[in-house]
A = this chain, B = another copy of it.
Amino acid sequence: MAERTIDRRIARTRATLQHALISLIPKKGYEAITVEDICDVANVGRSTFYAHCTGKDDLKRRGLDEHLRALLSARQKEALAAQGDGRARSLAFSLLLFEHARDHLELYRALAGGRGGEVSLGSIREILSDLVRAELAVTAAKNLPGAAPREFVVQYVVGAYMAVLTWWLDRGAKPPPAEVDRMFRRLATDGILAHLVEGS
């Protein structure tokens, strides 16, 4: 069979599975979903499911990965390119992702909320780490003696961001993205002491 035709069929099945998973998450919660549930919704046999991924987690990861990595890496390039003032433009992904999360609120809340939240966000975490790592490589000219290793800072920033994002989503994403973004970047760049004594 022609490769392209097959590829298209496969891609369509894969997409159906992704969509089935996403549509189920709000109904039952990620943890409670079974492979059979997904197959039923997607009108797909169990064997087909396992022909495409090794399990529920794998399916989720593949979907999220492709989605996010495409989104972020594309727009991140612009941000990095347009970067003049290190302070103003640093952590460029932040606003981008807050906005994206608000636009796809259902999906994000489903992924991040409740028990399996942290697991689900593993992929986002990795992607963000890549971005922050790249950004720091530009921003921080050299690895100063006595300073924390660059990877340490990466983990610090990404960990903080993920926690804040999750919390914001769990509360309904009520403050507008721009404001959350401002708060996060202020804490990240200036530290909590500055925040505590002066306010914004």
Q: Which residues of A contact B (CB under 8 A)?
A: 86-87, 90, 115-116, 118-119, 121-122, 136, 139-140, 144-148, 151-153, 155-164, 166-167, 180, 183-184, 186-196, 198-200
- List the B side residues contacting A90 at CB < 8 Å: 192-193
The residue that A196 contacts in the complex, of B139, B183, B184, B196, with Cβ under 8 A, is B139
| Chain B residue at minimal CB-CB distance from A161 | B159
User: Bound state CA distance, A15 and B183, in angstroms?
Assistant: 44
Identical copies of this chain, number = 4
Cβ-defined contact, B159 with A195, below 8 A: no
User: Bound state CA distance, A92 and B45, in angstroms?
Assistant: 54
User: Bound state CA distance, A91 and B93, in angstroms?
Assistant: 27
A117 nearest CB across to chain B (Å): 8
- List the B side residues contacting A193 at CB < 8 Å: 86-87, 90, 189-190
- List the B side residues contacting A160 at CB < 8 Å: 156-157, 159-160, 163
| Chain B residue at minimal CB-CB distance from A118 | B118
Cβ-defined contact, B156 with A186, below 8 A: no
Given contacts A122-B118, A159-B159, contact A164 B189 (CB under 8 A): no
| Chain B residue at minimal CB-CB distance from A136 | B196
Name which of A86, A122, A163, A166 has the most chain B CB atoms within 10 A of its CB: A163
User: Bound state CA distance, A193 and B187, in angstroms?
Assistant: 10
Cβ-defined contact, A155 with B167, below 8 A: yes
Name which of A116, A118, A196 has the most chain B CB atoms within 10 A of its CB: A196
Cβ-defined contact, A187 with B191, below 8 A: yes
Cβ-defined contact, A188 with B192, below 8 A: yes
| Chain B residue at minimal CB-CB distance from A193 | B189
